[in-house]
Amino acid sequence: MADVITGNGKKLVGTSVRRKEDPDVLLGRETYTADLKLPGMVYAAIFRSPYAHALLKRVDLRRALALPGVIFGITGDSLPDFLKPMSLSPYRNVEWAELKVKNPQMNYFPHVCLARERVRFVGEPVAAVVATDPYVAEDALELIEAEFDPLPVVTSVEQALQPDAPLLYEEWGDNVQLRFKVSGGDVERAFREADLVVKETVISSRYTGTPMEPRVVIGRYSAEENYLEVWDTTQRTHSVSMFVRNSIDLPDLQVRVITLRVGGGFGQKRGFYSEEVLIPLLSILTHRPVKWVETRSEHMVGTSHGRQQVHQMEAAVKRDGTVLALRDRILADLGVAYPTSGTISVMTTLMFIPGAYRIQNYEGELLGVNTNKTVYGSHRAFGKADAAYAIERFMDVIAQELGMDPAELRLKNFIQPHEFPYLCVTGSRYDSGNYPQAFQDALKRAGNEKWREEQKRGWQQGRYLGIGVSLVIEPNSASKVATYNAGHYGVRMQMDPTGGVTVFCAGNDEGQGHGTAIGQLVADELGVEFDRVHTVEGDSLLCPFGSGSYSARFAVVGTSAVIMASRRLKEKLVRIAAQVLGVGVEEVRAEGGAVEVLKDPSRRLSYQQIAQVAYFEVLRLPAGVEPGLEVLYYYIDSNLQAADLRKVPDERGRYAVYSTFPYAANVAVVEVDVETGRVRLLEYVSTDDCGRMINPAEVVSQYMGAFAHGLGGAFYEELVYDEGGQPLAQNFKDYLVPTALEVPRVKLAHMETPNPFTPGGFKGASETGAVGPTPTIANAVEDALRPLGVKLRRIPITPAIVWEAIQKAKGLK
């Protein structure tokens, strides 16, 4: 790995500059939110519902409050009047309502930060205590007396949709929180013209992100200043400041949210949570700084889950393999209706079912269904992983029905390179790509043909080898009007009088290495040294307003804002220098951290000299140029703002949601032990295209982390609930996260198709690693077991599932 650190001459973007962030994190010198200790700090512990569904008869804190060291306690019924229901919307209101959109149809329930009257999932916050010591707070929880009256429990979408199902939110009349339909083309006709109609149900189980650092919230309120500071391990610093402000309705309250280094987000830290209101509220009510550190057991039930979807799919196909049309009906198990973005996430799934294929006839319908489980929220590759899983599994089913090689079928239907930018049937514009090339490359590097031969030999000897292929897209950089995520990214760039650059950024970093990337970009654009570029993120008052870090927004709109701000700053430096040097702006150029006269490069001013003029000799500035060297730039996503794209759903539900479309072609080779159901992954090959790479080493490391998570989804990770709604995976003993021992080497290669809509050509990297394994491995396992006629319709693929599927196939034969 190259260790380039100067910006002189050689460009840094595209090289594997060593990450600025690593030394502090790896050597244990970093300050995480849980490390903070403020004078007078007290500790909150949360009493959570042990029932999946029950009436809350009584919560009695008296014994808990009598424990020495306990200073405060609160229940849903004792919340103050200024405490308002929580909402996803910046308008403190229902999503989309402002836009008069009828599709999607979303129900809203005014949940407050502690349950009232009723509990709806195991882990729901019911009461909180505050003590001078976290151990005492924990002891106090055991003294809380709560009485519940259990209600019938809903634990699956099928059950939730029964006409006589118990209702979670009676006022809605059913258990459907979200209805959404999207369609394009003439689906009816396509089905009439089809040679064959293929149907299948594809299921993915509930799993989650389990960041190494669970959530932490600290609140500190100053009554004198009516000023509330919140330290929060969120992916959305500014949005949380609005969320807190909207939920705590104290007149003229000033809120500042600060996010320190975050130990992994994976979408789980993107949702809004009760604790983000509750803990600040407790600091307001106790006049003390209050700290809450989530335990792992709390995290497994209190932080959002993802992925649980049932897809009822249908395809109209021609004998030659052309897919004329698709239908999908998604039943998503949303858990309870708390304000995380699970609803938007499953809508995203519905939008990208057509995947990498030239399918212009599509009809999708979505029911977001409530059950007595933890809320469904954003989870790595937000709904897109689910779409890729469904379509890539379904393509294999189609291939089998046609008796066609799954690779052939895909090659037949890919969007072709010359068709980009490509308008997807659901309204987004795919920026660029070359699917056939990536796919052929992966097949070739995997040794597809060699494996096919070995597979045939193996089958004769009772050895079951399987080859699975996929091409997954991972749409990046979302935006939606009238939400926090309006598609912009703000950057304030400041050159100080010594020539050093500080970049204040609207997002924050959960491990992606923003500081390193910004250093590379600014070094290249401005010609300052990499080490002189400093990044500040995660402060809702100090940094420009933004919606946070997710959806690879940093790599797409964030880097664009950094580039544009650098260019603006450079213009100002050039203008000032030209004036001081007594020449016109067209007679100078910026080069290597200085501005020099083109005809006589010995006449030059270093950035430091220019900065000194800007700050200390302001009378020498050109007319109309403000003192100081500071630029504010809000970049708008150009592939979403374009005039010809729909910003809100049209009558058929179509609109542009994502602006750039990284993808990866994947091949997995597995061997199945048919006696035990054990699957071994022998080979995983991926050809990945994230556009231009800013830092290839970073792309690889992010990819491998994502891949481990994808592998978890394929083989291990599942949030199982029993029929009573009790979660069975409440810690890492039962929730299996792959470790280094489970993660094989990936044969990873990159293709770089630049994004034509961003100044740097970047698309956002690596979440393809989390998306690819589930369909690719499932395809491979099913392929291995073809002689037995085994169907696998759900993930994770555990030995028990595989063995039972084999038994089932045997029974049918």
Partner 1 sequence: MFPARFNYYRAESLPEVLDLLARHGSEGKILAGGQSVIPLMKLRLASPAVLIDINRVRELQAIAGDERGGLRIGALTRHHHMEIKKWPRSLALLMDAARDIGDPQVRNLGTVGGALAEVDPAGDWGPVMLSLGARVRAVSPKGERTLPIDELFVDAFTTCLAEDELLREVEIPPLSDGTGTAYLKMERKAGDFAIASAAVRVNRSPDGRCQDVGIGLGGVGLVPLRARGAEDLLRGSNLEEELIREAEESVRKECEPLADIRGSVEFKRQVVGVLFRRALKIALRRAQGEEVEAGHV
Of 764-803, which residues contact partner 1 (CB under 8 A)?
798-800, 803
Instruction: Give 188 or 804: the residue with its C-beta nearer to partner 1.
Output: 804
- From CA 399, how far away is CA 385, in angstroms rounded? 21
Residues 581-600 that bind partner 1 (CB under 8 A): none
- Select from 21, 95, 124, 139 the one that contacts partner 1 (CB under 8 A): 139
Task: Give strand pairing partners of 119.
Answer: 54
Interface with partner 1, residue 744, by CB under 8 A? no
Cβ neighbours, 10 Å, residue 147:
11
Among the listed ranges 308-316, 347-355, 561-569, 734-742, the one in contact with partner 1 (CB under 8 A) is 734-742
Q: From 51-59, 407-415, 487-495, 715-723, give the range in contact with partner 1 by CB under 8 A.
A: 715-723
Among 22, 142, 145, 193, binds partner 1 (CB under 8 A): 142
In 447-480, alpha helices (H): 448-460
Q: Which of 637, 636, 682, 643 is nearest to 783 (CA)?
A: 682
Distance from C-alpha of 302 to C-alpha of 48, rounded to nearest angstrom: 9
In the bound state with partner 1, the residue whose beta carbon lies nearer, of 742 and 752, is: 742
**CB 295 → partner 1: shortest distance, Å?**
8
Peptide bond into 251 cis (omega under 30): no
Between CA 787 and CA 809 the distance in angstroms is: 10
Q: Which of 10, 62, 678, 786 binds partner 1 (CB under 8 A)?
A: 678
Measured in degrees and rounded to the nearest 5, phi and psi for residue 21 equal -75, -25
Question: What are the C-alpha distances in Å from 387 to residues 369, 431, 436?
Answer: 18, 19, 20
CB of 297 to partner 1, least distance (A): 7
Q: Which stretch binds partner 1 (CB under 8 A): 69-77, 135-143, 182-190, 764-772?
A: 135-143
Cβ(435)–Cβ(415) under 8 Å?
yes
* Cα–Cα distance, 210 to 662 (Å, whole number): 24
Q: Which is nearer to partner 1, 97 or 720 (CB)?
A: 720
Name which of 7 and 727 has its Cβ closer to partner 1. Answer: 727
Task: State the nearest-atom distance from the C-beta of 243 to partner 1, in Å.
Answer: 28
Cα R_g (the chain), whole angstroms: 28
Q: 430: which strand partners?
A: 422
Q: CA 548, CA 289: separation in Å to the nearest integer?
A: 25
Among 333, 336, 425, CA closest to 374: 336
Q: What Cα–Cα distance (Å) separates residue 175 from each residue in 108, 157, 337, 343? A: 12, 9, 10, 14
728: contact with partner 1 by CB under 8 A:
yes
Q: Which is nearer to partner 1, 664 or 729 (CB)?
A: 729
| Residue 82 in the binding site for partner 1 (CB under 8 A) | no
Find the binder of partner 1 among 121, 464, 550, 716 (CB under 8 A): 716
Distance set, CA 112 to CA 49, 82, 246, 304, 305 (Å): 15, 11, 12, 16, 20
Contact between 723 and partner 1 (CB under 8 A)?
no
Q: Which window, 264-272, 298-306, 540-548, 729-737, contacts partner 1 (CB under 8 A)?
A: 729-737
The only residue of 197, 542, 676, 808 in contact with partner 1, by rule CB under 8 A: 676
Q: Which is nearer to partner 1, 136 or 467 (CB)?
A: 136
Q: How far is the CB of 140 from partner 1 (least distance, A)?
A: 11
Q: Are 65 and 73 in contact (CB under 8 A)?
A: yes
Q: How far apart are CA 656 and CA 654, in angstroms?
A: 7
d(CA 273, CA 294): 12
Q: Which is nearer to partner 1, 199 or 808 (CB)?
A: 808
> Does the footprint of partner 1 cover residue 804 (CB under 8 A)?
yes
Which 283-312 residues touch partner 1, going by CB under 8 A? 295, 297
| Options 154-162, 379-387, 533-541, 674-682: segment touching partner 1 (CB under 8 A) | 674-682
Judged by CB under 8 A, the residue of 27, 212, 643, 741 near partner 1 is 741
Size of the site for partner 1 (CB under 8 A): 31
Q: How far is CA 396 from CA 85, 438, 686, 804, in A?
A: 45, 18, 18, 21
Shortest distance in whole angstroms from residue 380 CB to partner 1: 19
Q: What sign for the dihedral angle of Cα 12, 16, 21, 23?
A: negative
Rule CB under 8 A: say whether 731 interacts with partner 1.
yes
Residues that bind partner 1 (CB under 8 A): 134-135, 138-139, 142, 295, 297, 673, 675-678, 715-716, 720, 728-729, 731, 733-734, 736, 738-739, 741-742, 798-800, 803-804, 807
